[in-house]
C-alpha cells in the first residue's frame, strides 16, 4: 500500500473536471482508493477502484453523469490516492475511510458502541458469568454478539436462574463470609462460601457452555431426567430446584422468536427504502439461537438503490467487527464475491454471503424485511412530527429556519456539593444521546449553591472550546442554546457569549411559573419581553421535554458522582494498600475511621502490613505528625 503524490499544479486554481483530468496522467493502472476533496479540504467522496487511472478518467469526462455525481465533480478541488496490492485490500481500506471520514456523497451511518457479549471467564477455579464489551482480551469463552445491552441483561438474569453461576467480581468473591442475596433468590450456587464444591460447580459450567453453544435440548434432557429421578427418590426439594432451572431455559428460548434449523451462525441484513430513507435491520443468530436485532438508518444519497446502500453499509459494519461464517441479504448486491473475499481476509475464516430465494433462510430474511419496513414507517412518521415541532420552535423564537441542533443546559448539586453541569442535544432525529456532555464544576471559588457561577463555568468551557475549534468541519455548533433558568441565568449566558464573541447562537432561558407548574413556563430571549405559550401548544410540550431531559441527565450525573463519593474509602488512596491489605485492615479494625486512629504499632500488628507500610498509612492520616 502506498500513497501517490499526484498533485499537479497545486497553485493553479483548477476545479472540477479540469482539476480531475490533471491527475489522470500520473495515475497507475493499479487497484487503490481515491479521495475527492473540496477547496476547504473536506472529503467529499471516498471510492475504490480496480484501476485508479480508468476510474478517475471516468470522472474527467464531461456529460453522462447523474446530478449527484455532477455536483461532486464540480466541487472537487483536490484528490488523494493510495495504491493497494489488490482490489480486496482496496475495498477494506475504502470501508475504513468512509466510516472514519463520513464523506458527504458516500453512504455512512452513525456507529454505536461495540456489541456486548456474554463472557464465561476461565481464569478462576469458579468461573464468573458476566456481560463483556470491547476487545476479547480476558481468558474465557465468549458468546455473542447480542443486539443490545438489554438483551444481554435479560439473558444473563435468566442464565443465572438456570445455571446458578456467580456474577460477582473476584474481590467480592474472596471477601464473602456468608451467601449474598443472589443465593437467597436462587440465582447463584454460592461457591464463595462452599455451598457447592468444585466438581458440582464445574458441572454447572459445562451445562451453561452446552446451552450457549446451541445444545439446549441436550442440557434440558439431562435436567429433566435428574428431576424425575429426584422425584422418584422423594427428594422433592431438589426436584423443585431442577424444575425451576428447566423453566428458566424455556423462558430464554420463548423470548428468542425464530430459532433456525438450517444454520447455526449467521447475520441477516434486511433493507427497505421509502421516501428517500433506508432502514437496515440486522439480526444476529448464534448457536442456532436468535440473539436480537437492531435497526440502522444510514445516511445515503437519494439516487442510490437499496442494494447499493446495503452493500456500502455491510463493508463499514464489519470494519471493526468479525463477520460470521454466513451472511444473509434481502437484496442481491454487486461485487458480492469480492465483499465475501474481503470479509474472509479480515475474519480469518471463510465468509459466505447469500441472497436466499427459498426455504427457511428466505423466510427469515422476509421476516427481517417486514421488521425493517415497519421500523422505517415509524421513523418517517416520527420525523414528520419532529420536523413540524422544529418549525414551530423556529417560529416561536424568530429563527430563519428550523434548528438542526438544540443544546439544553442544566446544573445539579446539593448545597453546592458534588456540583455538575449537564448538556443534552436534540435535533431532527430526536435526542442525540451520544452528544450529551457532563461538566464537573472545577472552580474552588464558587459560593455553595451559586447557580449563576456554575452556569457561567459550564457555558464558558463549552463555547470557548467551540470557538477554539472553529473551522474544523467536525465542530458542531448549536442553533439554539436553551438554559434552565430565568433572567439571571440569561444575563450570565449573554455575558459569556459577549466575552467569547459568539453571535450566531440563539439564547433562550426557560423557567417555570408560580408553584413550578408545568404549562406556565416563561421564556426569556435577549431584547424581548418574557412570554408564555398556549398550555396546549405542542411546541411548549416539546420544549418541556427538552428541559426535563436535561434535568434528568443532570440529576443522574449528580447522583452517580455523589454515590461514588459516599462509597469512596480513604484506604484506596494509599499506595501499597491493595485489596488484600485493605480487607485485612478493615477486618482487624472494623472501619476506615478506626484505621485512621490506630498507632503505627497497631497497624503493623495486622497480617501483611510491614513497619514501613504502617508508617505510610499513619502518615497519610496524620500529615502534620
Q: Report how far apart, in Å, the C-alpha atoms of 372 and of each of 271, 309, 331, 369, 620 are.
A: 6, 14, 13, 5, 60
Work out the angle between the directed axes of helices 538-567 and 359-397 (0-180°, nearest 10).
110
3-state DSSP call for residue 413?
Answer: strand
What span, in angstroms and rounded, lies between the C-alpha atoms of 111 and 495? 37
Q: pLDDT below 70 — which residues of the chain?
A: 1-13, 112-113, 214-216, 251-259, 413-418, 444-449, 471-473, 513-519, 558, 561-569, 624-625
3-state DSSP call for residue 367?
Answer: helix
Output the DSSP codes for 369-403. Answer: HHHHHHHHHHHHHHHHHHHHHHHHHHHHHT-SS--
Specify which residues 33 forms β-bridges with.
48, 82
Question: Which residues contact residue 604 at a Cβ distance below 8 angstroms, ignoring those fewer than 6 apart?
Answer: 610, 611, 614
What pLDDT is attached to residue 447?
65
What span, in angstroms and rounded, lies between the C-alpha atoms of 141 and 318? 21
Cell of 333: 448486491
Domains, the chain, with CATH or none:
2-101 (3.40.1440.10), 117-254 (no CATH), 266-377 (3.30.420.10), 406-559 (3.30.420.340), 570-621 (1.10.150.20)
3-state DSSP call for residue 201?
Answer: helix
Please say whether the beta carbons of 142 and 117 come within 8 A.
yes
> Which is nearest to 28 in space by CA: 50, 60, 59, 58?
50
Query: What SS3 string covers 447-458?
Result: CCCCHHHHHHHH
What span, in angstroms and rounded, lies between the C-alpha atoms of 33 and 476? 28
Please say whether the beta carbons of 544 and 518 come within 8 A.
yes
Number of C-beta neighbours around residue 474 at 10 A:
8
Specify which residues 83 forms β-bridges with.
2, 32
What span, in angstroms and rounded, lies between the C-alpha atoms of 599 and 469? 54
b/e for 418-442, b at 16 or more Cβ within 10 A?
bbbbbbbbbbeeebbeeebbbbebe
> Which is nearest to 550 in space by CA: 420, 387, 404?
420
Angle at 614 between CA 611 and CA 616, to 5 degrees: 115
What pLDDT is attached to residue 416?
47
Unique residue bearing C-alpha cell 475504502: 94
Please say whether the beta carbons of 67 and 34 come within 8 A.
no
Please say whether the beta carbons of 364 and 328 come within 8 A.
yes
What pLDDT is attached to residue 370?
93
Look at the alpha carbons of 313, 319, 321, 326 in this order and tell me if their dihedral is positive or negative. Answer: positive
Unique residue bearing C-alpha cell 468444585: 198
Alpha helices in 469-589 (DSSP H): 487-500, 538-567, 579-589
3-state DSSP call for residue 530?
Answer: coil
Alpha carbon 28 to its chain's center: 41
Please say whether the beta carbons of 340 and 351 come within 8 A.
yes
Amino acid at each position: 500500500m502506498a500513497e501517490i503524490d499526484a498533485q499537479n499544479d497545486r497553485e493553479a486554481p483548477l476545479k472540477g473536471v479540469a482539476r480531475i483530468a490533471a491527475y489522470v496522467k500520473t495515475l497507475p493502472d493499479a487497484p487503490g482508493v481515491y479521495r475527492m476533496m473540496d477547496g476547504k479540504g473536506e472529503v467529499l467522496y471516498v471510492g475504490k477502484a480496480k484501476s485508479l487511472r480508468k476510474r478517475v478518467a471516468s470522472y474527467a469526462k464531461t456529460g453522462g453523469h447523474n446530478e449527484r455525481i455532477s455536483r461532486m465533480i464540480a466541487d472537487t478541488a483536490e484528490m488523494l490516492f493510495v495504491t493497494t496490492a489488490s482490489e480486496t485490500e482496496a475495498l477494506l481500506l475504502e470501508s475504513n475511510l468512509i466510516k472514519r471520514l463520513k464523506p458527504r456523497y458516500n453512504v455512512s451511518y452513525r456507529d454505536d458502541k461495540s456489541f456486548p457479549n456474554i463472557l464465561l471467564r476461565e481464569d478462576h477455579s469458579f468461573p464468573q458469568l458476566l456481560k463483556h464489551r470491547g476487545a476479547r482480551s480476558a481468558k474465557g469463552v465468549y458468546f455473542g454478539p447480542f443486539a443490545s445491552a438489554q438483551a444481554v441483561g435479560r439473558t444473563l438474569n435468566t442464565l443465572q436462574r438456570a445455571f446458578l453461576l456467580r456474577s460477582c467480581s473476584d474481590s467480592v468473591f474472596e471477601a464473602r463470609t456468608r451467601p449474598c442475596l443472589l443465593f437467597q433468590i436462587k440465582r447463584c450456587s454460592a461457591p464463595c462460601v462452599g455451598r457447592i464444591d468444585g466438581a458440582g460447580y464445574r458441572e454447572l459450567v459445562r451445562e451453561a457452555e452446552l446451552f450457549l453453544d446451541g445444545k439446549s435440548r441436550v442440557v434440558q434432557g439431562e435436567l429433566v431426567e435428574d428431576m424425575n429421578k429426584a422425584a422418584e427418590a422423594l427428594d422433592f426439594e431438589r426436584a423443585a430446584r431442577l424444575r425451576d432451572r428447566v423453566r428458566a431455559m424455556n423462558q430464554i428460548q420463548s423470548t428468542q422468536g425464530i430459532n433456525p434449523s438450517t444454520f447455526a451462525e449467521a447475520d441477516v441484513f434486511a433493507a427497505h427504502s421509502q421516501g428517500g430513507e433506508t432502514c437496515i435491520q440486522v439480526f444476529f443468530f448464534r448457536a442456532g439461537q436468535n440473539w436480537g436485532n437492531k435497526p440502522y438508518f444510514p445516511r445515503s444519497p437519494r439516487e442510490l438503490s437499496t442494494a447499493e446502500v446495503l452493500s456500502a453499509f455491510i463493508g463499514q459494519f464489519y470494519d471493526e467487527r468479525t463477520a460470521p461464517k454466513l451472511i444473509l441479504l434481502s437484496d442481491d448486491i454487486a461485487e458480492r464475491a469480492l465483499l465475501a473475499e474481503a470479509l474472509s481476509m479480515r475474519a480469518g475464516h471463510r465468509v459466505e454471503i447469500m441472497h436466499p430465494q427459498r426455504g427457511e433462510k428466505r423466510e427469515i430474511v422476509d421476516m427481517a424485511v417486514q421488521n425493517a419496513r415497519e421500523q422505517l414507517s415509524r421513523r418517517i412518521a416520527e420525523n414528520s412530527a419532529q420536523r413540524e415541532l422544529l418549525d414551530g420552535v423556529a417560529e416561536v423564537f424568530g429563527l430563519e429556519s428550523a434548528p438542526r441542533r438544540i443544546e439544553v443546559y442544566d446544573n445539579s448539586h446539593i448545597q453546592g456539593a458534588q456540583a455538575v453541569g449537564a448538556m443534552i442535544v436534540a435535533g431532527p432525529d430526536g435526542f442525540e444521546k451520544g452528544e450529551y456532555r457532563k461538566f464537573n464544576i472545577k472552580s474552588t471559588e464558587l459560593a455553595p449553591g451559586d447557580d449563576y457561577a456554575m452556569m457561567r463555568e459550564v457555558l464558558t468551557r463549552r463555547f470557548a472550546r467551540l470557538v477554539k475549534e472553529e473551522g474544523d468541519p467536525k465542530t458542531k455548533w448549536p442553533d439554539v442554546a436553551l438554559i434552565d433558568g430565568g433572567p439571571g441565568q440569561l444575563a450570565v449566558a449573554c455575558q459569556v457569549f459577549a466575552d467569547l464573541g459568539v453571535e450566531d447562537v440563539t439564547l433562550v432561558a426557560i423557567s417555570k411559573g408560580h408553584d413550578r407548574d408545568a404549562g406556565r413556563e416563561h421564556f426569556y430571549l435577549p431584547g424581548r419581553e418574557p412570554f408564555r405559550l398556549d398550555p396546549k401548544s405542542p411546541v411548549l410540550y416539546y420544549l418541556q421535554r427538552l428541559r426535563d431531559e436535561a434535568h434528568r441527565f443532570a440529576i443522574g450525573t449528580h447522583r452517580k458522582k455523589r454515590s461514588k463519593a459516599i462509597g469512596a474509602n480513604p484506604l484506596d488512596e494509599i499506595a501499597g494498600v491493595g485489596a488484600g491489605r485493605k480487607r485485612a485492615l478493615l477486618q482487624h479494625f472494623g472501619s476506615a475511621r478506626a484505621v485512621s486512629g490506630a498507632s503505627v504499632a497497631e497497624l503493623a500488628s495486622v497480617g501483611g502490613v510491614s513497619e514501613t507500610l504502617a508508617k505510610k498509612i499513619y502518615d497519610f492520616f496524620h500529615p502534620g505528625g
